Structure 1
Amino acid sequence: MDAFRDPSVARERVLRSFHHQLENIPTQGSSFFIHLSELCPVACEHCMYSSDLERKSEKTALSKSELEDAIRFISESSSQKLNITGGGEPFLKFSSILRLLETAKVPRIEIVTAGHWATTPKRTARMMRQIDEARSRNAVNPELLLRLSIDRYHLNAPRPVRIEQYGNVLRCWSETQPSFAVGLRSIQPDMGTVDRAIADELGAGIAEVDGWNRRLLLPGGKTVPLTFNVFRRSGKALRLAEDHRDASKTIREYYGPFESQPGNLSLATAVNDAIRGDYTASTGVAVTLNSDGTFWIFCGTAPDRKLLLEKQSFAEAVAYFFDDPITHLLVYEGIWALSDLVMEMAPKTHAAALAKNDSASLVDDLLAPDDVRLAVTLISAQQQVTRNRATVDAEHPLAGLLADPAVDVAEMCCGLILGNRETR
C-alpha cells in the first residue's frame, strides 16, 4: 500500500476526506481535567510527569487571561466534574484554584495535591478557609473534594511532605468542619504502610472497604476515604519499575470492574471516581487541559490531533476531534480495542506502552509510531464507513477499499507494518 511510504502525509489526506455521519456527537463533558502548573516543589522520584521545579517547556502555567478562557470553556462544556490536578502541583497556582472554585459552572470539583503547603496548623487552616469561602461563592454550589496524595515517595522526596502535614489537613478538616470533603490516594505497594502511618499520626482506626479502598476512622467520628491506585511506571518511575513489578496490579486489572462490557473500557466517556470506587459512564467526553494551553479528549485523541485553547467553542473543539476516525474508535470502543489492534501489528510498541502501566500515556505511546497511527486511522475509518456512520470522499485513492467490508484492512495493515519492520 503506497500510503505507508509517507504515513503522516497519508493520514492527513484520510482526515481531510473522512466525514462522519453521526447526527449526535457528544455535546458536553464528563470529567474535565485541568493542569494548572507543570512544576512541583516536592519532586517525587516516582512522578509520572517527571515534575520538579525545573522548566520543561516555554509555558509552565496558564496566564490570567488564558485561565478566564479556560473557565469559559469548562463552564460551556457542562462537565459533570472538574479535576484540578496533574502535570505539577496545582497549589503553586493557589489563586487560580480559588478562581476556578468560585466561577466554574460544574456540579462537582476535585482538587489533587501533595499537601506540601500544610506546613503549620495555622497556615493549613487559613488556606482551607480560603478554599471553603471560594467554593461558597460559586453560584452552582459545587460538591468539593480535596484529595491528598500520600505514599513513600511523597514522604521521602527531595522536599518531603511530612506525615505531620497530612495530619494538619485532616485535623483541620475534622475540627473546623468545612463544607467540602477530604480524601487520600496512595499506591498499591504502600497498602498497609502509609495508611497505618497516618492512622497512628491521628490516633485513627482503619476499616477495609475492598481490595482498593480503605477508610480512616477519625477520633471525632468522621471518616476519610483512602484509595490505592496501581503503581505507574511512566515518567521518573521508569527506573523504579522493577521495585514494584510484582507489587501492583496492572491497569487492565484495575479498570476491569469499570468496563461497560467485557473488554470495553472507554475512559473518554467516564467520570473519574476512583476514590469512590467507580467510574461513571457518561454521554459526554472527558477533556484534559494542560498548563501550556493544549487540550484533548482524555484517552480519546491521537497524539498529533491535540488543540490549543484559544477562542473556539466546546462544540467546535469536539467536532474537530471527531473528524478523526481514531476518536470514534477510542470513544465508542475504548482503549483496549486500540491496545488489541496495536498488539497485532507492532508487538514491541504495545509491550513498551503497557509496561508503563499508565492509562494517561497509553494512547500516546500506542500511537507514537506514524505507521501504526496511519494503520489505526485506516482501520477505524473502514469500521465507520462500513457501518454507515461515515463516508470517505470518492476521489481518495483508498475510498473503494475503505467502503468494502469484504476487505480486511486490519490484516492488510498488520502484514505491511510487520513486514516493513522485519526488513529494517
Structure 2
Amino acid sequence: MMESTALRRALAEATLTRAALLEGFEHTVDPLPDSGSSFFVHPSELCPVACQHCMYASTMDAKSDQSSLSDLDARRVVEFINSSRSQKLNISGGGEPFLRFSVIEKLVSSVDVPRIEIVTAGYWAKSQRRAAELISLVDAARLRNPHRPDVLLRLSIDSYHINAPRPVKLEHYANAVNAWRGLGTGIRFGLRSIQPDLDIVDQQLATTLGGTVEELDRWNRAIVVGADRIPITFNVFRESGAAEDLPAEERARMRKASMTMEDYYSPFETSEHRLSLATAINDAIRGSYTPDDGLAVTLNSDMRFWIFTGTAPDRYLRLQDQSFADAVAYFFADPITHMLVNEGIWTLADIVAELDPQRQAAAMAKNDTASLVDDLLGDPSTLAAVTLIAIHRMRTPGLGDLGAGHPLRELLETDDMLADCREALEVSR
C-alpha cells in the first residue's frame, strides 16, 4: 500500500517526477549512435496553397516566432547535417520549402549526403518557363556540390492541392513535368499523393500529359510519358493538423479509402510488430526499407530539432553550437528515447493503450506517425509513467537505472511497472 501511495503521489506531481527521473537516469549503452540516416529539414512553416488536409495546418500565417530558416541558419544546418554523416536529406514539411529558395540552394550545393529529396506543392510552376528556371537553379546548385548528390524533386499532387484556396492546377503539374523533360538535367522527378486519390489524380495528370499510368505495387504508380517514367507514391490519409477540421463524413470517406499507418508500414518492419523510423530509411518509392544504424533527425523552421519518432515532446532541442554527438547524448539521457529507438513506436502505443486507452485511440486515429509520439505522451502523468516503465525495462538487461540513493528508486522495485502505473493512474482519475 505504501508503494502504491508513493507511486500515485509521484504521478500526481508528474512534471517534477519526470524531471527528477531524467536527472537521476544513468545508462550503460555505449557507444551511442554516431551518424544519421535521414535528415528532414523544414525551411518554412508557411505555405500559400493552404490545403484543407495539411498535416501541418500550414497557411501564410506564422505559428511560431521564427516561421522560416534564414540564410545564416542554413549555413549552420549544413554544418550540423555534415557532422551527422546522414544518408539522405529530405527538404520538405512544415510548409512550402520553395518560399525559402535560397535555403534550398544552400542545402543542395553544400550538404555531404548521397541523396536529397525536395518535396514541394509545385505552385511555382504557373508557366513552363518559370518551372524550367527554378528546376535549372536546383540543378545548378547540385552541380556546385563537390559530392554530386542524387537529387529527386517530388511534387505533392492530390484533390486537396487541386482544390485548395490557392490551387495547384493540373496544368501547373504538367508545366513542371514538361519543363523537367525538356531540360534533361541530372535531377530526377517524382510525385507523391494520398491513397484516397489513387487512380484519380494520377490518371488525370497522365491524360493531361498525353501519357499512361503503370501500376507498380500497392504504394506506387508510374506515369509514362514518351521514354520517361515519373514515379508517384501514395501515402496514407492523415487526420492530423487541418484535416481534423474536415467534416466528419469526409474524414470517414477518406479513412475508408486509406490504409492504417500500421498496415501501410508493416512490410517495412524489421521484426514482428516493430517499426522504428528513428533507425531506418523508409523510401516507399524504391519499394524498400533499408535498415541503418543511424538516426532520423527532423529540424524545424524555428531551429528546433529532434530524433524523428524517437524523442519525447519535452526534449526537443534548438540548434545552436552543439555537436551532433552532444545532441545525441542529450536525447539518450531520456530512457524513452532508448525505448523508441530500440523497440519502436508501436511499443509505445501498446504501453499507452494500457495506461490511457482513450488517448491511445485518439492518437492512432490520426493515422500520422509524425505526430504519434507527441500525441501519445501529451499528458504529463502518462509521460512520467512511461518514463518509469522505460527505466524499468532497461534494468533487467543492465542497460539503465536510477542512480543509487535516488529518492524514486524504490518505485522501480516491482515485477510489473506497467500494471502498477496503470492502477495508480486509474485511481487518480
With the shorter chain as reference, the TM-score category is over 0.9
Distance in 2 (CA, whole Å) between partners of 1:211 and 1:5 is 46
- Give the counterpart of 1:186 among 184, 193, 196: 193
Q: Deviation string for 1:87-128 (max 9, x for gaps)?
A: 000000011100100001111100000000011111111111
TM alignment of 1:111-122, pairs within 5 A: 111-122=118-129
Contact 1:273 1:279 in 2 (8 A): yes
CA shift at 1:239, angstroms?
A: 2.6
Which residue number corresponds to residue 3 of structure 2? none
2:140 alignment partner AA: E
- Give the counterpart of 1:397 among 404, 407, 418: 407
Which residue number corresponds to residue 114 of structure 2? 107
Contact 1:385 1:392 in 2 (8 A): no
Distance in 2 (CA, whole Å) between partners of 1:400 and 1:197 is 64
Determine if the alignment matches structure 1 residue 91 to structure 2 residue 106: no
Aligned residues with identical type, % of pairs: 52
CA shift at 1:139, angstroms?
A: 1.1
Unaligned runs of 5+ in 2: 1-6
Instruction: Normalising by structure 1, report the TM-score.
Output: 0.97
Q: Give the number of equivalent residue pairs.
A: 418
Which residue number corresponds to residue 363 of structure 1? 373
Q: Deviation string for 1:315-336 (max 9, x for gaps)?
A: 0000000000000000000000
Root mean square deviation of aligned Cα: 1.0
Determine if the alignment matches structure 1 residue 5 to structure 2 residue 6: no
CA shift at 1:238, angstroms?
A: 1.1
Which residue number corresponds to residue 129 of structure 1? 136
- Give the counterpart of 1:278 among 280, 288, 291: 288
Which residue number corresponds to residue 156 of structure 2? 149
Determine if the alignment matches structure 1 residue 416 to structure 2 residue 424: yes
Which residue number corresponds to residue 307 of structure 2? 297
Distance in 2 (CA, whole Å) between partners of 1:278 and 1:236 is 30
Distance in 1 (CA, whole Å) between partners of 2:49 and 2:103 is 20
- Give the counterpart of 2:278 among 268, 272, 278: 268
CA shift at 1:277, angstroms?
A: 2.1
CA shift at 1:55, angstroms?
A: 1.2
TM alignment of 1:20-419, pairs within 5 A: 20-219=27-226, 221-240=227-246, 241-402=251-412, 404=413, 407-419=415-427
Instruction: Please give the secondary structure, in 1, of the residue aligned with 2:18.
Output: helix
CA shift at 1:211, angstroms?
A: 1.3
Distance in 2 (CA, whole Å) between partners of 1:420 and 1:15 is 23
Q: Deviation string for 1:385-405 (max 9, x for gaps)?
A: 221112311121232443x4x
CA shift at 1:418, angstroms?
A: 2.1
2:19 alignment partner AA: E
Contact 1:401 1:407 in 2 (8 A): no
CA shift at 1:192, angstroms?
A: 0.9
Q: Deviation string for 1:352-410 (max 9, x for gaps)?
A: 101111000000000000011011100101111221112311121232443x4x52111
Distance in 1 (CA, whole Å) between partners of 2:164 and 2:94 is 17
Distance in 2 (CA, whole Å) between partners of 1:320 and 1:377 is 15
Q: Deviation string for 1:125-165 (max 9, x for gaps)?
A: 11111110100111111011001100000000000001011
Runs of 4+ in structure 1 deviating by more than 3 angstroms, as ranges, are none
Instruction: Normalising by structure 2, report the TM-score.
Output: 0.96
Distance in 2 (CA, whole Å) between partners of 1:391 and 1:251 is 33
2:396 alignment partner AA: T
Distance in 2 (CA, whole Å) between partners of 1:124 and 1:352 is 41
